[in-house]
Amino acid sequence: MNAFQFWQQKIIQVFHDPPAKPFGGIPKVSGGLKSITERLFDLFQEHIQGRKWRHRYKAADWAASGADRPMLYVPKKKGVSGLGSVRWPNQPVISHPLAPGRLLELSGAASTDRGETPALEDALEDAQGQPRDLIDEQEDVARDLAVLVRLSFDEKDLHYAFIVPWRRYRDDLMARFPNDPLWQEPPAESRSPDHSIWDHLKVTTALAFMQPHTWKEPPRDLDTPREPWMLRVSLGPVGRFIGQARTSRDLWIGSFLLADLAWHAMQRIVEQYGPDCIVYPDLRANPRADVWLAGAYPEALPEQGKEPATYAAVLPDAFVALVPRGGAGHLMTLEELARQCQERVEARWAALHGCVKTWIRNRVRPDGTAWESIWDRQTARCPIHVTWTAVPWRPMERIEEAESLRGRALPNQPARLPIRTADHAAIAARRARLSPWVAPEVWAHYEQARDVYAHANLDLHQMERGFDYALTHHMLGVRHALREAAHPAPIPDDEPGEKCTLCGEREALHGGPSGPLPLWQARKHGRDFWRVKDLDRDETGEERLCAVCTTKRFLIDADQSRVPQKSLLGVVWAGSSGIQAGDGSARDRDGRLRVPFPSTATVAAQGFLEATFGEPRLHTALEALAEACRTAALPRTSFPRTLPRLAAVYHDAPAPVRALLEYEAEDMLFPEVLDGKARTFEANGDLAKKERHQALAKAVSAFRQAAAAMDIPAPTTRIAVLHLDGDNMGKLLVGEADAIAARWRDVLHPQVIDRLGRNGHLKAAGWGDLLDAKRLMGPSVHAFISRALGQFSHRIVPWVVEQEFSGVLIYAGGDDVLCLAPADEAIPLAARLHQLFSAAWVVDTLPHQQVWAWRRPGWRGEDDQTEARKRFLIPRADGPGAPIRLGVPGQRVARHVSEDTDPPAMDVRGLLLPMLGSGASLSAGVAIGHYKTPLSVMLSRASDLETMAKAQGRSAIALGHASRGGVKTGFSLPWGVADADEPPTAAATLTQVIKAFRKGTLPGRLPYKLRDISASVNDALDVIGRSGQSGKDRQAAEQTLLHGMFRSCLEGSVPDSVKKAAEELWLRGVTVARACPDADGSVHPEHFADGLLVCRELARGESAGEAEA
């Protein structure tokens, strides 16, 4: 298969199913679905010279079906009747493949017949209330797309011609009716309308390389270059690379670099086979992929996305692709493809560290050559290791008789014909190939469905290799995990000399001559090397870094020294126009690009900065502070528009106030920090700097006193690191019954449910029992999940973290989220993300609102979190069995986690975003500490807490706080949901207890009194456990004991609701501590009251914040 044939078939597959496919089966439409398909494709080829293309191979279409679509098609046999066609326009509904009871009902039908105008009461209407013609809408878009491409017999033109509709087809259709779910989620199958045509098309275009074969003919691609394989590629070690961070910017750039390297690994596959071949993550509308499109295929971007950029890492560290086995023509061998992925990562790393090395050579101009020798040694091997695994996606072994699947008859059953020898061998071969990789109950689940499918229509069932997709994908995941364990990332070599103060692994860079030096001499050269202002902007002399950590620390500075056209990372986070010299939209007043991430001090103190810098009565004090900062020659290293609360202040403030936001928050808010720096300068003999910093400390104290006189609370010093991760995602993707909430009954069209009970053939096949079994996983549903995770990670998460709350996002890759936030917002922020992740449908009411619009200098707006929380709405059904109706008055929506009462019913309009439903959940680890705590420590704590949340049953939040002396608390609580789509109850419980401690309703001594008696309580629980009582009696005795001990420690009059919430945390703390003993079985009762202790610490506010400074 040459390149021309490859790209030609991908373009043909794009148009093989029209988006309005559910309307194409109406008998009165002349030519039906085929006629519409050919018309759309002809319009796309309108400008081609010569013969038009129409021939389409169906192998990809058959492979993309299988387990995605229920086998409801009967064989053409005498006496066997089918279900009949589903006239979807008469009952236009969309079901959810993972969530039961979330049926969407569209508001009418539409015309697909040029000769007939439907009645208004039976029509989808346009903005003027006129019946819509769906054929015209599709044809207009196909015609417009044709203008953007040049179809010829050149493979590069064909490549471009595929990329354009892949990225724009859906967006351009939706732009005509922005609030219409029809073009957003058009069903691929009217009988099972639970996955969209866009998910199906993604799989068929990815498989366009498959060898054609005819009906009932076995696939011809086995062990050939055109056989489909699944390829998984991962990068690592993730934790070590991003965890070597002292500051928030270290953490941000580490995550950003890892995502950038992941993109360059997959970019080689994308260039060879198209972005649709990446199964996970979904690259369509991914900001990082769009940045690539803006440079390589600018016409492919829709009008609303011509300037893509992302301030956060939005790609995971692993990806899965559908690719051919390769070895002929355009189809590269898998081994060569994987090798080139590794080479792309290494080449990108060489470009990144080379950029910083050149910057140091030209800007810093160190003495000697030792630093270059060290640099070359440490960067010779990329610190990120690439691991890959591939498995063939084979069709199921074919059998002749469906009855062979049911085996021999049991003694009291009717006799059956002997199983054919060939069938027995085929069944055994498939079992040996797939069953060892999955749990027995998963295999039984798929075998039950296969039996029904085969008895319903054996010939069609065996045409669809998609039935084994999930089992094959799971095998890939298990084998990849084994490969990673057997071939881990290389451990760095032990290096000589003084170690890097950040990673502690590699030798710190130093000047002087190359070659071995005495340690004292190397240290002296190191101090001289790092004393340069460009490398030590705080002038503390405390840090000496290796080449890898230096690359991460100074890459933004080095990158902006290049001409904008050769920017490496700036174009990713600032956009191509944002990095331009002069008035580039990402540049500051002085024309510089600064690290687009706030310091931890800024995150903690942003409320104080907003209140004071936006207060006109403090402008005189602020001007004095600005002058003191200038006199002290503080480095202007802060990006002044990193947070929306500060961006609003920055745009409206006078020049001195704007200048202040370019200094680091801790230098202009905390006099104790300045006093410490002054002592350092005194020790180093720099008395002039000592005096300037002491003067600045006095100015800061005066400013703080002026703010206090206006009753503005002191700046907070505590932050939270939040790490959230999806639960049981592997089980979901393999289709385990306990991970998918929806049954077949929940996803089938209501007309199908009604008819199935009357169809003798399908009932005999076993559909009566299968209806109540969980829905299977297949390639299109997998594409649905990838798309949902993409929308969650790069559309919902950034807005929620940075607009609905005051956090800042570091990484969002699918179901994995890492962010920082003020400590008092961490619990509701985590709860909100969990609520949206586990919703069935979310409506984006502002789909064209840029996520990071406030970071642009020209932005004029307000930081209004109340309004921001109205963007993403979760529509709710009125009751069991009732549908959700979008775009009509009276639709109920779920309550936001910040609200105490249900919002009024409303007309919900916007972009429909499918999420993962009530069967899915996030577990969260929340580490709380002082802003000066090294981020590597905070990140490790958050990761440990997230592990605790999962270990305690998943779907939970785990919190902990620490002081300078170490970890103080660790506690987890299940999210709990009173009603699907509503905020988790854990957030309300924790918030209620925090408020009670803050108001004094709960005595502050309560956690300590409980901790004092915890050892005795633990002993008493052990005695009850050894008492020999029955399980029920033992549990009642334990509850009586714990209840009594809690009430004995409670002082004063406490409202019953508060008492109940606090006791719940006490009981949970006991459960968690006793469930997590040490290796020797010993329990730590001092942690029984950890839930109450962490709530008390959050309630104490600033008075608790200095413990770790």
pLDDT in tens, 257-314: 999 999 999 999 999 999 999 999 999 999 999 999 999 999 999 987 788 889 999 9
Q: Hey, what are 31's tokens?
A: 């030519």
CATH fold, domain 228-390+492-566, is: Alpha-Beta Plaits (3.30.70)
Q: Which residue has the tokens 């854990």?
A: 986
Q: Band of the pLDDT at 193, cuts 50, 70, 90?
A: very high
Mean pLDDT of 493-505: 90
Between 43 and 902, the higher pLDDT residue: 902
- The reply to whether 228-390+492-566 and 719-732+781-974 are identical in fold is yes
What confidence score (pLDDT) does residue 31 get?
A: 43
Q: Band of the pLDDT at 832, cuts 50, 70, 90?
A: very high
Residues 434 and 735: their CA atoms lie apart, in Å, by 14
What confidence score (pLDDT) does residue 896 get?
A: 95
Per-residue burial over 618-643, b = 16 or more CB atoms within 10 Å of its CB, e = otherwise: beebbbebbebbeebebebbbbbbbb
pLDDT tops 70 at residue 122: no
pLDDT digits (tens, 9 = 90+) for 675-734: 988 898 888 888 998 999 999 999 999 999 999 999 999 999 999 999 999 999 999 999
Residues 467 and 465: their CA atoms lie apart, in Å, by 5
pLDDT tops 50 at residue 670: yes
Residues 853 and 859 sit within 8 Å (Cβ to Cβ): yes
pLDDT digits (tens, 9 = 90+) for 377-401: 999 999 999 999 999 999 999 999 9
Residues 1096 and 995: their CA atoms lie apart, in Å, by 9
pLDDT digits (tens, 9 = 90+) for 509-518: 999 988 888 8
Percent pLDDT > 70 in the chain is 92
Q: In whole numbers, what is the pLDDT of the chain averaged over residues? A: 88
pLDDT tops 50 at residue 1107: no
pLDDT tops 50 at residue 26: no
Between 848 and 47, the higher pLDDT residue: 848
Measure the N-to-C terminal CA separation of the chain; round to a whole number of Å: 65
DSSP letter at 562?
A: S
pLDDT tops 90 at residue 541: no
In the chain, domain spans: 3-201, 228-390+492-566, 599-716, 719-732+781-974, 985-1108
What confidence score (pLDDT) does residue 20 get?
A: 82
What confidence score (pLDDT) does residue 563 get?
A: 67
pLDDT digits (tens, 9 = 90+) for 915-952: 999 899 999 999 999 999 988 899 999 999 999 999 98
Residues 564 and 580 sit within 8 Å (Cβ to Cβ): yes
What confidence score (pLDDT) does residue 998 get?
A: 93
What confidence score (pLDDT) does residue 590 get?
A: 66
Q: Which residue has the tokens 């009461």?
A: 121
What confidence score (pLDDT) does residue 965 get?
A: 64
Residues 165 and 276: their CA atoms lie apart, in Å, by 11
The H or E element that residue 385 is part of is: strand 385-392
What confidence score (pLDDT) does residue 780 get?
A: 94
What confidence score (pLDDT) does residue 492 get?
A: 77
Per-residue burial over 274-306, b = 16 or more CB atoms within 10 Å of its CB, e = otherwise: bbbbbbbbbbbbbbbbbbbbbeebeebbbeebe
pLDDT tops 90 at residue 985: yes
Q: Band of the pLDDT at 1000, cuts 50, 70, 90?
A: very high
What confidence score (pLDDT) does residue 116 get?
A: 39
What confidence score (pLDDT) does residue 1028 get?
A: 83
Mean pLDDT of 108-132: 45
pLDDT tops 50 at residue 506: yes
What distance lies between CA 1033 and its chain's CA centroid?
45
What confidence score (pLDDT) does residue 702 get?
A: 93
Mean pLDDT of 879-892: 84
CATH 3.30.70.270 corresponds to the domain 719-732+781-974: yes
pLDDT tops 70 at residue 66: yes
CA distances from 507 to 54, 526, 1022 (A): 63, 10, 52
CA distances from 1019 to 928, 1007, 1036 (A): 31, 19, 17
Mean pLDDT of 1074-1094: 89
What confidence score (pLDDT) does residue 639 get?
A: 80
What confidence score (pLDDT) does residue 155 get?
A: 84
pLDDT tops 90 at residue 659: no
Percent pLDDT > 90 in the chain is 58
Per-residue burial over 783-802, b = 16 or more CB atoms within 10 Å of its CB, e = otherwise: bbbbbbbbbbbbbbbbbbbb
Residues 137 and 142: their CA atoms lie apart, in Å, by 9
What confidence score (pLDDT) does residue 586 get?
A: 65
